[in-house]
Amino acid sequence: MTSTAQHTASDIKDLSLAPEGRRRTEWAERSMPVLRLLRERFSRERPLAGRRLAACLHVTSETANLAVTLQAGGADVALCASNPLSTQDDVAAHLVKDHGIKVFAIKGEDHATYYDHLRAALAHRPDLTMDDGADLVSALHMIALNRLDDLAPPVRAWVETLSPADRKALVAGVIGSTEETTTGVIRLKAMARDGVLQFPVIAVNDSDTKHLFDNRYGTGQSTLDGLLRATNLLVAGSTVVVAGYGWCGRGFAARARGAGANVIVTEIDPLKALEAQMDGYRVAPMAEAARVGDVFVTLTGNVAVIRVEHMRAMKDGAMLANAGHFNVELDLAGLAQAAQGPTHVRAFVDEWRLDGKRLFVLAEGRLLNLAAAEGHPASVMDMSFANQALAAELVVQRARQLTKDVHRLPRELDAEIARLKLGAMGVAIDTLTPEQLRYLASWEMGT
Ligand SMILES: NC(=O)c1ccc[n+]([C@@H]2O[C@H](COP(=O)([O-])OP(=O)(O)OC[C@H]3O[C@@H](n4cnc5c(N)ncnc54)[C@H](O)[C@@H]3O)[C@@H](O)[C@H]2O)c1
């Protein structure tokens, strides 16, 4: 149990929601056997003992299981939201009340509160950070580069109260970081390319046991779930336009097709477009797809993928959503200028009037699966967060050897996570015979 001081150190919606959050977190834990094994080992070995860890992640029941695992490893954890709409308020309450973890996250928080929560995580003075979208690392780098104008006002106001030595110490104190998602990894690789990265980062998203499963099966299923919960749409017979055929797009396209949709894929990469075509989807430019789609979902990690020119071409009643990391994939600023609205018509659905037609924007263009549904199922986050826990351990073990670059977890750890997951699923596989080992290592044998 925690003290009152620890409660007041957090900023959450309502501490009395903790019992429901605990039940929900325990439910998720049942499907997270790999993380559970790691937690047992972390409790014995305490690899993160004495470390202060700031995490900016979606505050969900799966993340709660990760936070408790990191705490079991000895870390003093502070957690803020990585999206204003993805927090499960009961889970946040559970972490604060039952584990004494500092949490700064409220579902529906405004822009200023989002960044004030990020500031609170930085004020934890972490020596290890964990990001989903690179917001913590990016703020630390704006401080390091003295680009205070690029900080959100709540972070900037706080930084201005720190002495130059204190600012330096804040950044220099971070021995390394880990990053969860594609968009964050892209930002971090850009920092490394520009030679400004101040510490090593482990790109958890680059592990096969992350993007192959979380991005594909997790985003695929939970985006469909978010679409259904927000709209109660009959997917069968609808035309669903999927922008982006990367890991997330492939997953969502497959699930939408499975539910009976006619799927159209839009892409800018000829290889991905060809793959979508051969997977049996119709492939078309957005300008063409816009005219026939009933539902549009972006999963690209890119900006302004659906623009006003596309929206003008859409049918009356078209629905627009995003499942990419940031709410930049739909040009909502352009829509707000060109259209009348929004009228809030039901939870997570806003109606806009454009040229006399109704367009429905879901979840304000933020990650549909986390805003309107519960994010990825725990079973898939089991692997993503096993990667996160191992990445945190690796940063602590190897901080001195790792260069200031973006690294991936060693392949052996990736394979080990897959092996443990298969074991937990009761799935056995074959092993190479000595003859097969020799054959695969030799070049002499031919026809
Ligand atoms: N919603 C979630 O829970 C969740 C989970 C994982 C990742 N993500 C986010 O989803 C986004 C996609 O991730 P990913 O792992 O699939 O990335 P990816 O790189 O595998 O795929 C992105 C695809 O989008 C395509 N693309 C880029 N610009 C485009 C455009 N203008 N039009 C059409 N296609 C375009 C790219 O060619 C690529 O094939 C990222 O922002 C990532 O952070 C979200």
The domain locations on the chain are 4-209+376-424, 218-371
Contacts of 402 (CB under 8 A, 6+ apart): 176, 200, 395
Tell me how far the alpha carbon of residue 245 lies from the centroid of ligand 1, in angstroms: 7
Sign of the torsion formed by the C-alpha atoms of 63, 64, 69 and 72: positive
With a 6 A CB cut-off, is 272 part of the ligand 1 pocket? yes
Residue located nearest, by CA, to atom 6 of ligand 1: 215
pLDDT of residue 8: 60
Contact 331, 308 (CB under 8 A): yes
The one-letter code for the residue type at 194 is D
Domain 218-371: CATH architecture, name and number where available: 3-Layer(aba) Sandwich (3.40)
The CA–CA distances, whole Å, from 287 to 153, 290, 293 equal 38, 5, 11
With a 6 A CB cut-off, is 182 part of the ligand 1 pocket? yes
Q: Virtual CA dihedral for 235, 239, 241, 242, nearest 10 degrees?
A: 40
Task: Give SS3 for 315.
Answer: coil
- Nearest-atom index, ligand 1, CA of 243: 33
Conformational region of residue 260, where left means phi above 0, alpha means psi within -120 to 50, and beta covers everything else:
left
pLDDT of residue 313: 98
Burial of 244 (0-12, 13-18, 19+ CB in 10 A): buried
Residue located nearest, by CA, to atom 25 of ligand 1: 244
Contact 86, 371 (CB under 8 A): yes
The pairing of beta strand 282-283 with beta strand 262-266: parallel
pLDDT of residue 445: 83
Looking at the chain, the number of H-run helices and the number of E-run strands are 21, 15
The pLDDT averaged over each successive group of 10 residues in the chain (447 residues) is 53 98 98 97 98 98 98 98 96 98 97 97 97 97 96 97 96 97 96 96 97 97 98 98 98 98 98 98 98 98 98 98 97 98 98 98 96 96 97 95 96 95 96 96 88
Conformational region of residue 233, where left means phi above 0, alpha means psi within -120 to 50, and beta covers everything else:
beta
Q: What is the CATH number that goes with domain 4-209+376-424?
A: 3.40.50.1480
With a 6 A CB cut-off, is 248 part of the ligand 1 pocket? yes
Ligand 1: which of 212, 264, 302 to mutate, most ligand atoms within 8 Å of CB? Answer: 302
Residue with tokens 């972070």: 155
Tell me: cis bond preceding 200? Omega within 30 of 0 counts. Answer: no
- Angle formed by the axes of helices 182-193 and 135-144, nearest 10°: 20
The reply to whether domains 4-209+376-424 and 218-371 share a CATH topology is yes
Tell me how far the alpha carbon of residue 338 lies from the centroid of ligand 1, in angstroms: 27
- Nearest-atom index, ligand 1, CA of 184: 43
With a 6 A CB cut-off, is 299 part of the ligand 1 pocket? yes
Q: How far from chain centre, in Å, is Cα 229?
A: 20
The one-letter code for the residue type at 218 is G
Q: Which residues pair with 222 in a beta bridge?
A: none
d(CA 138, CA 144): 10
Is this model's pTM higher than 0.75 or not? Answer: yes
d(CA 429, CA 435): 18
List the beta strands (DSSP E) in 230-324. Answer: 239-243, 262-266, 282-283, 295-298, 318-322
- Strand order of the β-sheet with 102-104 is 102-104, 76-81, 52-57, 128-131, 176-179, 201-203, 406-407
- Nearest-atom index, ligand 1, CA of 249: 16
Contact 53, 130 (CB under 8 A): yes
